[in-house]
Structure 1
Amino acid sequence: MQLSRRHFIPVAAVIVGAAVLLNVSSAPADPARPYQVLQAPPPPPGPIEVVEFFWYSCPHCHEFEPALRDWAARHRRDIVLRRVPVGMRPQQLPQQRMFYVMEALGMGEDADRELFRQIHEAGKPLDTQAALATFAAGAGVTPQRFNAAWQSPGVQRRVDEATRLHQAMHVTMVPTVVIGGRYVTSPAMLSATMPMWGQTVAGSHEATVKMMDTLLHRARQDSKAGGTGHERTARSD
């Protein structure tokens, strides 16, 4: 696996990719099927890109993170995991920007996990620029460095790319996982197809990673065929 919490993709490549993806559409949603299919080109040869769309204040994202990391570690040889913060609503924008500020400052995965921990375990909202500056100061980042990164054109470009990407991939909820640029699934999709009685978070996550295995296999097939795999039906068994 190539883990892209710190995986940098050339800006030009991201912009071109987003421009292409803006032309994709999704197959009609089927409430009985725990995934959707984007009508997009097959993945290129090589490691399959897996994109997780998330929001730091989302409790479901926090709960799903360990399962996602374990799944990514299991497939570390042939995937690239890319995490993309969403900014679908105004209250999400500061934390979306913070993801790229931390990246620009080289704060590392420990800071990423600590931000999740403080929000969901310590009960700190951390949803304003001032609160996030205080969080960064706790990790040894001076206000000057934080403000410079927050206002930098590079961070703004990354924020804009993230927004274009979640719009292009028709992401409406978090966490959402897109595999190979065309297969979309999420714990919420899996939960909707499972019996309500006795349903648990752990069970939903287990079902989700099994579906991700299925969709990853399908994306590999599409990549090898270079063709119309999105027209076939992925199986969950």
Structure 2
Amino acid sequence: MIGHLRAGDIQFDRKHYQRDPVEVVIANIDDNWNPLGIGRIPISRRADGTHWGYDGQQRTLGTIRHFGAEYQMPVEIWEGMTIEDEARAFHFLNVERRFVGAIKEFTSGLLGGEPGCVAIAAVLAEFSITPVFTSASKDREIICFAALHSVVKSGGIDHLRRTLQLIDDAWNCEEETMQALFIKGVAHLLRTHGKEEGWDYAEAIRRFQTVAAATITKRSREFKAMSDRPSAVTSVYRALHETYNRGRRTRRLGDVRGR
């Protein structure tokens, strides 16, 4: 269940699995508090009705220091978890998860005032896209922070803005499009063909609006399966390229180009 809890009512189980909080991190969160860097805190509601956070301890403590214990924290509440389940979830979110490094880099950078992370957060806010740190399960929610950094690295912050603008105009930032491969595929299309004579943004939007994002993803998997040197990002790009050129006799995009 997604909702809000009084920050002071969220407990953290340091006896069984949580680490001790780091004072300098809490101070940085207080000094640079940003709602996009806080995200939703994952909560286990135990049988006695108490609420235990299995991630986000320092974000919660920094928020309490900044606003006080009455602040309504955004949370995602799960019921029926044992302490062992909480410990496994904590370990998964902080140790095992393949992209946890990118999550921690983004949150610590944002709450520490790092300019690159702040710039990315500002662009996400322009499109009402919410960074989340447990699971992205709605339209306009995103967790693939490494992909965002990759797009910025390849073309700058404006390239990320153009990429998200196309996704918003064509698919309204639906859940299917808020995935790393989809975002990087759109970015690759714009970087490769965005200045070609055959590129017409308005026409691209009209064409993409007629094709579901899930259909693009499915077609990209077909391209990947047919390729001797499959690249998942290039496969998304090829599906977009094909959709744009389909039925056009003039002002077609040039040949598909690899990454």
Band of TM-score, shorter chain: under 0.3
Higher RCO (CA-CA < 8 Å; seq separation 6+)? 1
Greater C-alpha radius of gyration: 2
TM-score by length of 2: 0.25
